[in-house]
Structure 1
Amino acid sequence: MVKRTGEVVMGIIGIVLSALFSIIGIVTNMSIDDPMVMQEMEKMIESDPAITTQDSTFIIGIAESMGWYLILIGVIASILGLIAVLTIVKNRKPILSGIMFILAALVIGLGTIGFGFIPGLLFLIAGIMAFVRKPKPSETVY
């Protein structure tokens, strides 16, 4: 039986770091709803003469939708990582776990355009380890 401690530890750390993206999204949504933050953002945008009115509304629209996007990406990656950790415990289904780890790596790594590099890397390494590590053949004596 192969001990899967490395995959479990990397998976849990990846889950926690992915959940942080959800927390960042929640904080972003809360700050966008604050009128003081919106006034400061508008002042910063208006102070730059190169930015037109269309550009400023586009920037504010992106900032408003970014919070929900980060929440969604963080939750999806955390759920995939949690499924992977639960299926790798006691070496139950390492292939399914490897697939889930790699999917979580793709979601958090590519979904955040590289900002989720560390949890994505942890999920990817755990997924590769889940595929590669095989039990040692037992010696049978006749």
Structure 2
Amino acid sequence: MIKRKGEKVMGIISIVLNVIGVGFGALMLSMDQSFFDQFNEVLQEEGETLPIETLQASVHAFGIQFMVVSSIGAVLTIVGVIMLKTDRRAVLSGILFLVSAITLLIGTVGLAFVPMILLLIIGLMSLIKKPKTEVHTSEYPS
């Protein structure tokens, strides 16, 4: 049986970062009117203008998307870490980690870069690392 302590530790770190991502999405939802006014002033200084309603709708939609995708990534990572207990389930766990990484890449448009990289590394480690098999033959006594 292989000790998969590194995968478990990096998985827990990724779970914590995904929970922070859910908090970031909630922060985006809690933006008040003054933030959008300041943002619109910056856009007007650059010569562009955008209706505040459109800006609010897009920030809120992305906040919801960020929360949902981060929570999906956290759940998949939790299931993957739990499944790392046996070597036979390590392949399935690695696949879950890779699916979670791809979900974070696509769903957050690359903003969840650190947990995505961690999950990619964990997924590859889970798929590549194989248990050592001892070779015993009757020809060479051990």
Q: Which residue is equivalent to 1:6?
A: 6
The amino acid that maps onto 1:71 is M
Q: Structure 1: how far apart are the matches of 2:97 and 2:26? A: 24
Normalized per residue, which structure has more helix? 1
Q: Is the 8 A contact 2:36 2:55 kept in 1?
A: no
The amino acid that maps onto 1:26 is A
Residue 39 of structure 1: how far off its partner (Å): 3.4
Q: Structure 1: how far apart are the matches of 2:39 and 2:123? A: 43
Indicate the SS of the match to 1:135: coil
Question: TM (normalized to structure 1)?
Answer: 0.84
Out of 55, 75, 99, the position equivalent to 1:103 is: 99
Out of 78, 85, 90, the position equivalent to 1:82 is: 78
Q: Which residue is equivalent to 2:60?
A: 64
Q: Structure 2: how far apart are the matches of 1:41 and 1:110? A: 26
Q: Which residue is equivalent to 1:51?
A: 48
Q: Structure 1: how far apart are the matches of 2:39 and 2:83? A: 49
Question: TM (normalized to structure 2)?
Answer: 0.84
Residue 43 of structure 1: how far off its partner (Å): 4.7
Q: Structure 1: how far apart are the matches of 2:94 and 2:130? A: 13
Q: Structure 2: how far apart are the matches of 1:101 and 1:16? A: 15
Aligned residue pair count: 136
> For the aligned residues, what is the CA RMSD?
1.9
Over 3 Å counting, the alpha-carbon distance change for 1:43 and 1:105 in structure 2 is: closer
Q: Is the 8 A contact 2:25 2:64 kept in 1?
A: yes
Consecutive unaligned residues in structure 2, runs of 5 or more = none
Q: Structure 2: how far apart are the matches of 1:43 and 1:122? A: 35
